[in-house]
């Protein structure tokens, strides 16, 4: 016989439990005392248990294991909510406007903070319509390059969506995106400002970008990239140590 996993005392207790579950309730017992189910408890057969253990690649099946599995039939393991399942883990995503805004606020007015000196009033004094096409370029930029930007032929590397942001949050998120692009030596990004009835954020983005010397050009995106609800921004190349 295969080696038993249980002591003699445990085997006797399991045998007794099996017998009690199989007999059903004693109808002669007083009401409320030692009551058991009126119907015999349905237990899996030895064949069913052996099949289950075989599926689990058990090395051997002995009588004790079968008896234990029969006695434990219907018992469910409690879920440990302190363990996080890898299947439910949130996939890493690009930072949204709120994240960028908080990150910019935490960093403060460091050397790379482009928001320093930006005028909200200057931007708001030149409102644009929700469906307006935005277009701007510095005189030194070649027309050929600007045309490529307008047609969406220049690859943009990163983007931020400032829908639902306050003006302060939107400004911080936009400038932080530009700082990241400059740090990563990226020359083109996308800002999704939306339209809205009053186009406040669109107006602000249009005014802010015109105040930044790092911005060579920007224009409303092609339909596939958001149309008039977004802008593609072309930035100056970062200077390398050898320049």
Summarised one tens digit per residue, pLDDT across range 49-107 is: 566 656 555 555 556 666 666 666 655 555 555 544 444 444 434 455 555 555 544 44
- When pLDDT is averaged across residues 33-37 and rounded to a whole number, the result is 52
Q: Which pTM does this prediction carry?
A: 0.54
**DSSP-derived pairing of the beta strands 188-192 and 158-161:** parallel
Q: What letters, b where the CB count within 10 A reaches 16 and e where it falls short, cover 166-178? A: ebebbbbbbbbbb
**Per-residue pLDDT for 29 more than 80?**
no
Summarised one tens digit per residue, pLDDT across range 139-153 is: 999 999 999 999 999
Across the chain, mean pLDDT equals 75
Cβ(233)–Cβ(178) under 8 Å? yes
**Per-residue pLDDT for 136 more than 60?**
yes
Among residues 233, 227, 27, 71, which one has the least CA distance to residue 146?
A: 233
Q: What is the pLDDT of residue 108?
A: 43
Q: What is the pLDDT of residue 197?
A: 82
- Res. 237 pLDDT band, cuts 50 70 90: confident
176 contact partners, CB below 8 Å, separation of at least 6: 100, 101, 103, 104, 107
Among residues 21, 31, 182, 187, which one has the least CA distance to residue 114?
A: 182
DSSP secondary structure code for residue 225 in this structure: G
Percent of the chain at pLDDT exceeding 90 = 44
């Amino acid at each position: 016989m295969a080696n038993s996993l249980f002591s003699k005392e445990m085997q006797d207790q399991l045998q007794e439990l099996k017998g009690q579950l199989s007999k059903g309730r004693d109808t002669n017992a007083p009401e409320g005392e030692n009551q058991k189910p009126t119907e015999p408890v349905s237990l899996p057969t030895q064949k069913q248990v052996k099949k289950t253990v075989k599926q689990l690649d058990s090395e051997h099946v002995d009588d004790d294991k079968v008896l234990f599995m029969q006695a434990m039939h219907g018992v469910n393991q409690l879920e440990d909510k302190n363990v996080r399942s890898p299947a439910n883990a949130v996939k890493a995503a690009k930072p949204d406007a709120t994240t960028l805004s908080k990150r910019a606020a935490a960093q403060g007015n460091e050397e790379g903070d482009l928001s320093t000196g930006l005028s909200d009033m200057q931007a708001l004094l030149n409102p644009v319509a929700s469906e307006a096409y935005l277009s701007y370029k510095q005189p030194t930029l070649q027309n050929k390059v600007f045309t490529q930007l307008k047609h969406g032929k220049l690859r943009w590397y990163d983007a931020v969506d400032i829908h639902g942001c306050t003006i302060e949050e939107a400004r911080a998120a936009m400038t932080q995106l530009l700082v990241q692009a400059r740090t990563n030596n990226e020359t083109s990004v996308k800002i999704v400002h939306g339209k809205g009835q009053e186009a406040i954020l669109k107006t602000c983005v249009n005014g802010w970008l015109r105040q930044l010397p790092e911005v060579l050009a920007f224009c409303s995106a092609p339909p596939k990239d958001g149309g008039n609800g977004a802008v593609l921004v072309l930035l100056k190349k970062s200077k390398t140590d050898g320049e």
